[in-house]
A and B are shown apart, each in its own frame.
Chain A
């Protein structure tokens, strides 16, 4: 099974400054159909998860453009260009390439310094 790891696990950030989270998979996430099913989800305190980014770099509907995703193969990154107070929460990467299993990373907690 594919194992997802994230670094850092905790990230104190300054408002208005950028933040970056890395996600690594134990196997390539390139699917036989040519797509890479790597997503990023945000979970604010006390809230359900919310989809931010799908297939590495596509922002889901309504997601602010300060969020961006990049990467390929086994290494992926979520970047927040300028952190706002509402961005506090836990961020998860998730793979859906290894049909029919879905695997989440351990989560990265983002809070304000």
Chain B
């Protein structure tokens, strides 16, 4: 059974930093592509970032230069380092695992809430 478990969310002041983690089991982070997708309160889904099996990383324009996606293959864990946080970054952040066969996001974590507020 595949499990993706996010952690690291919380309340942070504007301008602050936070690191999210996504621990995977039953799914190899380094062999697939992994993304962060966020959902602001009462809103739809917004793709944030992706890391491919080869290590290439890409970001939505809204977070480029502030967020960094990475992974630790030995821990089978995905990360999102978020710097210079803004109120508009407030959202539930989901970790999603993609399969090259589907070209989609096959598996999702339960999400972790990030609230940026003073």
Contacts and interface: CB of A to CB of B under 8 A. Distances in A.
Interface string A41-66: 10100001111001100101000000
The majority secondary structure among interface residues of chain B is strand
Contact of A48 (B47, B58, B94): B94
- Which of under 10, 10 to 19, 20 to 34, or 35 or more describes the interface residues of B? 20 to 34
B14 interface: no
B50 A100 contact: yes
Interface of B: 35, 37, 44-47, 50, 52, 56, 58, 60, 94, 96, 98, 102-111
Given A43-B45, A96-B104, A104-B45, 17 more contacts: A37-B104, A39-B102, A41-B45, A49-B94, A49-B108, A51-B104, A55-B103, A60-B104, A92-B45, A94-B105, A96-B103, A100-B56, A101-B47, A101-B58, A102-B35, A102-B37, A107-B44
Interface of A: 35, 37, 39, 41, 43, 48-51, 54-55, 58, 60, 90, 92, 94, 96, 100-107
